[in-house]
Amino acid sequence: MASDKIVPARAERSAAVQMLRTALIEKKMTQAELADAAECHEKTIQNLLGGRPVRDQTLFDVCMVLGLDYQRLKELWSGAMTTAQPMDLKGEGGVVAPVYMGAYTRAGVDHYIGSYLTLRPAFAVPNAIVAYRTDIVWDPEWPSLIFEERDRPDQPYSHRGRLYIPSSSMFIHLVSLTKGAMRMVVVSQLDQGGEMRGLITTLNKQGRFFVPVSAPIAYLKRSEFKGAALGEVPAGHPTYKDYKRILDETMSEGYARLAAP
């Protein structure tokens, strides 16, 4: 008779450690920087990456810094698996996203993979538009689409996160989560013209404080970026009129709406 007793498994702990090491490399962080961001001692990070026991709170804090799924990693870390319900580390061979992300398949979202010219209004500079590059790729280790922002004028605030694609909606979600701080982008599904449009909701630094802000945003798929104006594009720039038209159409054509009292 099969037992449902929870037992530790060395292979699962090793898989958890590998996820942590991979995320650390992708974030381009040192162990000391991770310790500082997670507010723990560097020796604790060394223990963690060595597969040695640490507190659940430490594991949670590290997951928030690295953008990892805490619940999934915790199950791997503790070996919380039963013989009746073994866990598939890659989910259907790494080609199906978790149910909570929309259970989309790699084949069903291949058309999202690529690079996008990303446009939104500047939050701090009046009448300016921020343009940068966003890359979307498939992550086979944690089966889902991931996005990463590049060539932003405020590079330290660049985001990296995952795509949530509900099957019953015309909109998708690009979500980044770092140590409890979440940024949400809601845009239309990719159309035949290679465009996604909607709203970004995030925090913007105003003086000494960060305040919530929301604005229209557009993703335009591009095979190359030669000649594309990136960074803060002021009103007098040659491409400003085209960029502004795209953002204006995002609102006027009903991709998003900003409600006011």
CB-based burial of residue 22 (10 Å sphere; 0-12 exposed, 13-18 middle, 19+ buried)?
middle
Q: Each residue of 180-239: pLDDT tens digit? A: 778 999 999 999 999 999 999 998 888 788 899 999 999 999 999 988 999 999 999 999
CATH fit for domain 107-252, picks 3.40.50, 3.30.565, 2.40.128, 2.130.10: 2.40.128
Longest dimension (CA), the chain: 75
Domain 10-86: what homologous superfamily? lambda repressor-like DNA-binding domains (1.10.260.40)
Q: Is 81 helix (H, G, I), strand (E, B) or coil?
A: strand
CB-based burial of residue 118 (10 Å sphere; 0-12 exposed, 13-18 middle, 19+ buried)?
buried
Q: Each residue of 139-151: pLDDT tens digit? A: 887 889 999 999 9
Q: What's the chain's length in residues?
A: 261
pTM: 0.66
Alpha carbons 134 and 116: distance in angstroms, whole number: 5
Enumerate the domain spans of the chain.
10-86, 107-252
